Amino acid sequence: MILEPERLDGLRALFAQNFGLPSPSLLSRAPGRVNLIGEHTDYNGLPVFPMALQRNVAYLLRPRTDARVRLVNRDRRYGTREFAISDAIEPFAQGDWGNYVKAAAQKLASRFELRCGFDAAVDGNVPLAAGLSSSSATLVGALLALMRVNGLELPLAELQELAAQAERYVGVAGGGMDQAISLGGRAQHALVIDFAPVRMQPTRMPGDWRFVVSNTLVMAEKSGAAREAYNARTRECREALERFRAHPDAAGLPDSYYALVHGVALPRLLEIAGHALGGVLLQRFRHVVSEGARVEQARQAMLGGDAAGFGRLMDASHASLREDYEVSSTELDLLVEIARESGALGARLTGAGFGGCSVALCLADDAQRVVDALHRRYYAVRPPFEGEALFVAEASDGARVFEL
Ligand code: NG1
């Protein structure tokens, strides 16, 4: 199925109302993602382990013969947007959804001559500002649409890198995870992704594993308030690495997080860090290197069908994000606790944190119990509940353009 019939019908009607005939000829669809483990590692050059979701952003579109883009969103709160494509596009106001489309257009225009834009009706069902990458899905969907209408093709790894660079237009010093998985996702698989260059290791999900995603309903608007906290973490990690390397005990050790995690035993890294760093920088460093090491362990656990082992790694990741990285919240801690107490094998915050979603691993037979407990103990006492706040993730394919 290209898109749920209700969404496709809604998009067609909206398109006709706003842009008339001829009818749209293409549909560009890009998924959000849930990261299973490897949090705040991507911008430090360390791997992540996400899967693409069944939830996505869709553009029903018709190519134009000039280099303009016109958009109308099915969610009335977002309204219509219009702009001319160039390699220097003035952004809309900070936090505006149209900036993710501009981000794609500007980046692509800096590499290629774009003669054509498009008219599109846009719709999404990735919860917003929830750490599930609705923003990257918006960007990637626009990027693929622009490439298609201009007859451009790029190898996947190059496209993933381009999309990651494009998102910096919105002012977040992000890593490349979200764009890479939205483009490269695979049904029934989670993917270990390494960066610079992007490399992916699709890992088949055991058939009886279920990942329950639950939204705190506290928005973690990365283009707004959480942006500074996120960017501060990226700076602290850089500074921690510099100070670590400058310490005499680290003489002769490799100089990147990636090489350190892959070449030096974790206890030794932590021991030297204890001498070289203090306070917040020690905390950030400890999170990054231990989380980096957990990704490979988690992949082995998934390959071996060791759900309990995978769950323990998720728990350790959450503790580290809460204590050392300081990106959890009361609500996230509560969701994690409820999931564990009701039968999940492990649970953690997912995405950047500061609100957003948690993810819990449980076996298929226990999933309903976990979902019920989250309803009863979280959503029932915190209205308003939104239908999309709690769901079981289905590993899905990456972004694609379909001809209608
Ligand atoms: P969220 O906030 O979940 O979309 C952000 C970054 C990721 C990664 C995670 C933390 C962007 C677009 N996304 O994700 O690259 O760093 O935080 O692991 O910057």
CB-CB contact of 43 with 173 (8 Å): yes
Residues of the chain with pLDDT under 70: 220-225, 383-387
Å from CA of 251 to ligand 1 middle: 32
Of residues 119, 178, 194, 315, which has the active-site annotation?
Answer: 178
Predicted local confidence at residue 400, as pLDDT: 98
Sheet bearing 118-124, strands edge to edge? 80-84, 68-73, 118-124, 49-63, 26-37, 400-403
Q: Which residues line ligand 1 (CB under 6 A)?
A: 39-40, 42-43, 131, 133, 135-136, 167, 172, 174-175, 177-178, 222, 351-352
Nearest atom, ligand 1, residue 173 CA: 19
Predicted local confidence at residue 152, as pLDDT: 98
CATH architecture of 5-204+397-403: 2-Layer Sandwich (3.30)
Nearest atom, ligand 1, residue 131 CA: 3
Catalytic (active site) residue 9:
no
DSSP result, 236-296: HHHHHHHHHHHSGGGTTS-SSHHHHHHHS-HHHHHHHHHHH--HHHHHHHHHHHHHHHHHH
How far is the CA of 191 from the CAs of 203, 237, 317, 404, in angstroms? 6, 24, 18, 30
Predicted local confidence at residue 386, as pLDDT: 67
Q: Do domains 5-204+397-403 and 210-392 have the same CATH topology?
A: no
CB-CB contact of 340 with 299 (8 Å): no
CB-CB contact of 12 with 24 (8 Å): yes
Which tokens go with 132? 């599930």
pTM comes to: 0.96
Predicted local confidence at residue 171, as pLDDT: 78
Nearest atom, ligand 1, residue 172 CA: 19
* Residue 164 burial class via C-beta count within 10 angstroms: exposed 0-12, middle 13-18, buried 19 and up: buried
Nearest CA to ligand 1 atom 15: 175
Å from CA of 67 to ligand 1 middle: 30
Å from CA of 12 to ligand 1 middle: 32
Name the phi and psi angles at 151, rounded to 5: 65, 30
Phi-psi region of 128 (alpha: psi -120 to 50; beta: other; left: phi over 0): beta
Q: What is the H or E stretch that residue 102 is in? A: helix 98-111
Classify domain 210-392 by CATH number: 3.30.70.890
Nearest CA to ligand 1 atom 19: 174
Tell me the domain boundaries of the chain. 5-204+397-403, 210-392
CB-CB contact of 269 with 286 (8 Å): no
